[in-house]
Structure 1
């Protein structure tokens, strides 16, 4: 299971880590790939790695002590300095039987529903009615909470450290960094609808309207201009956009989302 919104430039390094994770999965473990931190990022969860897992074919694999939620900056700095923490990139490799076994221990009702769907999946005349009946009732829970964290407590989860070039395109700050090739003194302009006039400014502008956007002397700016809504923030605060989206949804103005 891999996220769709990430960029990996070091394909060889990535393949090596996946190969080790597959070896660990074949040995009966649930494996995850943890990214070696390059900075004390507060936008990621962290994985606390323990000693070597000692698995044939996975020499880099380490036991997972715990998963940690997104930390404050001070805590993230401590994590990075310790060398024992990796970014949780949401990559999981496991045999299906191991995954179901671990899920059953923590979420038995959800597992029963999944297996009920699986039992009729290859029968089109039964699949549709079963999906209509069961799918809306399924508990919405991330694999981190339903499988990974409980498996770590039971000693069944291992992590393969990944030091390959990786970027999570999870917010507009990441978009700016990718398009500006890591430089903080550049302005990335995406979209071909509007006109952007910039003077001594850096960050990212995503324009989907016909408006003229003028930026003067602003750094780390994020502007997303669409025909029906305008977002202005900074690369530092880009992770908080989700809170704005939630507030708009609660206000009943979901037509702009």
Structure 2
């Protein structure tokens, strides 16, 4: 059955909340934050044994492809699908679907992320196998994460009726997708017990997702059809360059999933998942010292210092702290970030401010 199963890694994001380490020319999937492997390398590593390397595709922008290929040279160069410019995840998924359908009309594609952390690799592979089985029954499958706290930075998925058991997992019909809530709403969703975090990972047959593009995003579907006709021909690059800028940016969540038919969720309870979306999120992934401090490539000496993250680009640079707690300290050589942990989500706003004030050199 796995001969028709393919992985598509979306690897074109920026990760602005991890500034100043994450930059335009080195987004977060290229960073070594949680191990000596980059997040992208870890994303490809956890597919080994489930997907042959020639069944792993990467969708990214051209200026990131060279570095990603260096990091995972085992993936065939022809499996890198290059979008001329970012146009949202809907177009990424659509482009990958038409490319895969030309190769294998029976393909089931797992749409995966390049910049998340998953501790339980065996459990992750099991849930993908279960999702493939469900996807072959015409369902669009999304992977939900069992929430552990009232997160306001994630979207939520509400489950409905039990559809059955697939592998070691229960499958539920999706009632609705919900946008990122405020804290009060998030607490209510957690107490209800019928909501999962939206992981942003999906599994479906390529022909099934194209039905939804045709039904819900007709304009994008027509554009993808034209691109598909040119794929593998002498005018592939020219067609893509001409048509891609005309695509209206949209996410797969808003463009397709919220109003799709036959949507199911498989809950992942013990995956050890984190989207590594902000500096504060690393406290959920990395072990701290006896005082709760986290050091990333840093020499750190602290007096009365607790629950503080210290990260430097230079492993020989000494950072000394006295009498601080709950801080984020990140030294990227040409830029230094210091902020309270509670304000870690505001780094995205800071990046916008840098752009508005002419500090593009630091983006």
TM-score by length of 1: 0.89
Distance of 2:290 and 2:343 partners within structure 1: 15
Structure 1 residue 127 corresponds to structure 2 residue 231: no
Contact 1:207 1:224 in 2 (8 A): yes
Contact 1:24–1:55 under 8 Å retained in 2: no
2:163 matches 1:163: no
Q: Is 1:26 paired with 2:133?
A: no
1:1-257 pair list within 5 angstroms: 1-54=111-164, 60-123=170-233, 125-151=234-260, 154=261, 156-164=262-270, 165-180=272-287, 185-191=291-297, 196-201=300-305, 202-208=307-313, 212-257=318-363
- Per the TM alignment, residue 207 of structure 1 is displaced from its structure 2 partner at its CA by 1.2
Deviation at 1:52, TM superposition (A): 1.2
User: Post-superposition shift, 1:41?
Assistant: 1.4
State the SS of the aligned residue for 1:60.
strand
The TM-score normalised by the length of structure 2 is 0.64
Moved more, 52-61 or 243-252: 52-61
CA deviations over 1:129-154 (Å, ceiling 9, x no partner): 11211122222211111111111xx4
For these two proteins, the number of residue pairs brought into alignment is 250
Question: Which runs of 5 or more residues in structure 1 are unaligned?
Answer: none
Q: How far, CA to CA, are the matches of 1:97 and 1:157 in structure 2?
A: 15
Matched residue SS, 1:240:
helix
Q: Which residue of 1 aligns with 2:22?
A: none
Rounded Cα–Cα distance in structure 1 between residues aligned with 2:255 and 2:290: 38
Is the alpha carbon distance of 1:59 and 1:214 closer, same or farther for their aligned partners in structure 2, counting shifts above 3 Å? closer
Do 2:126 and 2:167's aligned partners in 1 also have CA atoms closer than 8 Å? Answer: no
CA–CA distance in structure 1, aligned partners of residues 158 and 132 of structure 2 = 21
* Cα distance in 1 between the residues matched to 2:176 and 2:291: 38
Give the alignment's Cα RMSD to 1 decimal. Answer: 2.1
User: 1:95-144 CA distances to partner (integer Å, 9 max, x unpaired)?
Assistant: 11111111222211111111211111111x20111121112222221111
Q: Post-superposition shift, 1:33?
A: 0.6
